[in-house]
Amino acid sequence: MNTPPSPALRLQGKAAIITGAASGFGRATAQSFAREGALVVVADLQSGPGLALVSELQQQGHQALFVQCDVSLEDSVQALVQTTIAAFGQLDVVVNNAGTTHRNKPALAVTSQEFDRMFAVNVKSLYWMAQAAVPHLKSSKGCMVNVASTTGVRPGPGLTWYSASKAAMINLTKGLALELAREQIRVNAVCPMIGETAMLEQFMGMPDTPENRQRFLARIPLGRFTRPEDVAEAVVYLASDAASFLTGVCLDVDGGRNI
């Protein structure tokens, strides 16, 4: 009996930075990238969970390293990219997943400190990453995938300023896609619905109970929250050669919420 060939790995040999990779959507994305053959850079503020993930990936036979990074700071992002180049000699994919939010509450109750930190992490980080990574993505004809949110298209009650930061990310995705297309660099985004991550209670603005979850689930046609693996699979696809003619796409991963 002939053994069927193994399916080709979708990201074989591609060096990828994934920010906010120590938990949630980022952790699942790092795991999926590694399984698909990528050389994975786990970037996060949290060194403990980040190093634990890298150890797990290495034990599974994957190539991975951890870099502590605050994506809101220019020097930290520059160091992240330079460490990646030093380790792997190339940069093919950047996943801008790191993000933060204010707790679900009225717009006027959000402090200026909360606002500034959120826009620094969710929006200005893209500016710093573009400055640091694009010169290397030009060489590899690589791509960038940004993790935005359905609220960037359809604002959620109590999340006005967070929604605005994600709307900016969506607009930046499209603008960069247009500008960098001449360099054969693709820029896309995924827009998850509220997900089963450590920030779930912040997004809900109330205790994480079955009853309160149901209030949010009622808005989702497919009847469940976004899972980390849902986002990871969408990001893998957009980073792969199967999506080589897609740029400026903002893919809803939302169970039909934005219909």
* Catalytic (active-site) positions: 162
CB 122 within 8 A of CB 99: yes
CB 118 within 8 A of CB 102: yes
Residue closest to 145 by CA, chosen among 62, 68, 251, 41: 251
> How far is residue 222 from each of residues 132, 189, 235, 253, 259, measured CA to CA in Å?
39, 21, 20, 11, 12
